[in-house]
Amino acid sequence: MAGTVKLETMGKPGVFINCTTFDDDAKSASADNGMPTLRRVKISSQDFYKLRGKVETIRPLVEAVFDDIIDALTKPLTPEESNASGGKYEEESTAGVTVTAESYPAAAEEFNSVFLNNRWGDGLPLIPPTEERVKWMLSGTKRKPDEVLGRINPKQGVATIEKIAINAVMAGAKPEYLPVIIAAMEALADEDFDDLHVLASAGSFNLLTVISGPIAREIGMESGIGFMGHGWRANNTIGRAIRLSTLNIGHTWPGKNDMALTGRVSPHTFFTFCEAEDFSAWEPYHASRGFKADDSCVTVGSIHGESQLNHFYGGMIGTWTAEGILDRMVEDLVRTDRRGYFMWGTKGIGKYLGSGGGAMNHMIILFPELVEELKKIGFDQKGLQDEIYKRTSIPYDDLNPAERKSLQTAIELGVIPTDRKAVFEAALKPGGKVPVLISPDNLHFFVAGGAPGCAFSFNYYRIPPYNRTALMTKRITGATLTKAGAV
Amino acid sequence: MSEKVKLEVLNPRGVVEAKQANAPAPRLTDLAGKRVGLYHNGKPGLDNFFTVFEELLKNKYPTVKTNLIRGSFEITDKDAEAWAPQIDTFVYGVGD
Amino acid sequence: MSEKRVKLEVLNPRGTIEAKPVSAPNPRITDLAGKRVGLYWNSKPGMDNFYKVFEELLRKRYPTATTTLLRGAFLIRDDDVEAWLKEIDTFVYGVGD
């Protein structure tokens, strides 16, 4: 939609085609982009997706809407359409809500009805964010309530500390969790982070949130058996607060502008957990990314949707060795990432070169026993990155002509960044070995789980469709109720 | 004087009907000459565990006999009825 | 006897949306005869087939109209916009999924 508005504001009249399922989304997006009366023609979702494969099958659909498209291009604007200019577009009241009832339980039920009917909740009962409870929540941070972190898509709602605290109360979080939630929202609101794709795409993308550093233990997060599951107030309410904050600050709703077709797995809390630092033989993740080891950080990353994770086993499923699991990881990476080679030679699907399904980031969760064994055979995080990068490289002689051409084009277009160009130029010759990853840094290791544990991974585009990155680490600051994260 | 709010809520937990408790069977005081059953519930690695266990057992009790059976996670009634007469004591593993 | 009521006043959890200035779409071209119609394909599968039929129908109705198909990112890139604007009089943008 933004592209259509861009072209219109540059003086060209046009029309936007959308499918019926996306009509509310399109209407909402045209308003979000400042052109509520932009002309649109809708085509039947049921027909388009079924018939689009061939020209002969889609013909009746195009014939059915052809006149509508021509009219949209040529019929003069109505006074109503023209009068949009110069006005201001506002959507929702920002006032608080008051409910009264004969008892507290009845009032709480009435509050939940109002919020859930307004689409201000996630479908589960909420804790009422009274001024008193929000003040209590804000006692967890020394940051000012009116501090602005940024904006959240799709409606670019302003993310303030206070709004996050309100949603944290609703989620059932405690004040000592607030600095963690704020750091996660800082990442999502960062001007370089693509929150639009993960929050609104039809692909049902999900969010991985990993807390590392001493704060995790201080606030009682769980990193052992069941670490990605239910039962842990800190893990679950931090995730829920992020979910509610994005829903309310960004103004999303399923089917309206959050078009995740199947909905997400673990939709109320996303995947939120912490590293098992007490049992890990490695330094924490954030230390491998340039932060100080005794910092506390939150890493937020978009991950793929319905095909959630790639499993490398370990633990109780069978006897395992570190080498065996490493072999499985390598095999999986080669299989999935080589499929993306054909996209490397295109500009990509987004604003930045190489965006979309070309090269990936991999977020790999390793259980503590495995990390201990990896360390025994000489691997720290950096060493393992380099080893996997090397082992997943494919002999040039095994590539087919289309793959070779695509990778060559990727160098010419600048999809392969300047600092990696020499590596790929050297590889794209007989006898060379061509990486399936742009850089070893695209492998991110997190240590979590109990004994027995499992190794598995998520992945996502190295460069997302609508911004520079979808993986970011932020340091936790301003905590008042924990030693960690205070400064 | 501050007014306290009293919240009385009902218990959401399912009632578990109290079961009859039984004590374990009396122990054998000596394993010499006895028949020790080794129950393998199919979990990987237990075969290796029992291989070493048998060695150590036979070192300590040269006249002991072992009887390894491999069955489902939960021993079936049929297996239990057939096996019980063949053993004097048993090791059951592994509860994962 | 007065009825005791519980009042619950809660804060608004919604992010403030800064009101944006709005604009109207551009005036339409009343006749496509001799005009350059841009067809923007955001790379979603099937739109190429849609456009093939659209072009046929367009040429039947407006034999002197010309078309320029541009395949690009989900959101048209700035450098694509600048180049393309010079080549078209009007456009169709699809598909919004």
- Percent of chain A at pLDDT exceeding 70: 97
Residues 29-58 of chain C whose Cβ lies under 8 A from any Cβ of chain A: 29-32, 37-38, 40, 42-43, 45-47, 49-50, 52-54, 57-58
Across A367-439, the runs of DSSP E, i.e. the strands, are 394-395, 433-434
Q: What is the mean pLDDT of the segment spanning C63-76? A: 94
pLDDT at B8: 66
pLDDT at A82: 87
A127, A133, A313, A319: best to mutate for the B interface, most B CBs within 10 A: A319
pLDDT at A89: 55
Confidence of residue A306 (pLDDT cuts 50, 70, 90): low
DSSP conformation class of A22: G
Q: Do chains C and B touch (3 or more CB pairs under 8 A)?
A: no
Q: Are A472 and A193 in contact (CB under 8 A)?
A: yes
- Tell whether the model's pLDDT for residue A50 goes beyond 50: yes
Q: Rounded to an integer, what distance in angstroms lies between the CA atom of residue A231 and that of residue A212?
A: 20
pLDDT at A359: 94
pLDDT at C1: 43
Chain A CB contacts of B96 under 8 Å are 316, 452
**pLDDT, tens digit, for every residue of A78-135?**
998 888 765 555 567 788 999 999 999 999 999 999 999 999 999 999 999 999 999 9
- Judged by CB atoms closer than 8 Å, whether chains meet at A156 and C17 is answered as yes
Cβ-count burial of B86 within 10 angstroms (0-12 exposed, 13-18 middle, 19+ buried)?
exposed
**For residue A212, what are the β-bridge partners?**
A297
Q: Hey, is the C-beta of A259 within 8 angstroms of any chain C C-beta?
A: yes
Q: Rounded to an integer, what distance in angstroms lies between the CA atom of residue C89 and that of residue C33?
A: 11
Q: Hey, is the C-beta of C17 within 8 angstroms of any chain A C-beta?
A: yes
**pLDDT, tens digit, for every residue of B41-56?**
888 788 888 999 999 9
Q: Rounded to an integer, what distance in angstroms lies between the CA atom of residue A100 and that of residue A181?
A: 31
DSSP string for C4-55: P-EEEEE---SPEEPPEE--PPPPPPS--TT-EEEEEE-S-TTHHHHHHHHH
Confidence of residue A287 (pLDDT cuts 50, 70, 90): very high
Q: What is the mean pLDDT of the segment spanning A391-395? A: 98
Q: What is the mean pLDDT of the segment spanning A167-171? A: 97
Confidence of residue A276 (pLDDT cuts 50, 70, 90): very high
- Tell whether the model's pLDDT for residue A62 goes beyond 60: yes
pLDDT at B72: 83
A316, A321, A454: best to mutate for the B interface, most B CBs within 10 A: A316
**Complex prediction ipTM:** 0.87
pTM score, whole prediction: 0.91
Structure tokens at C44: 């979603």
**pLDDT, tens digit, for every residue of A415-436?**
999 999 999 999 999 999 999 9
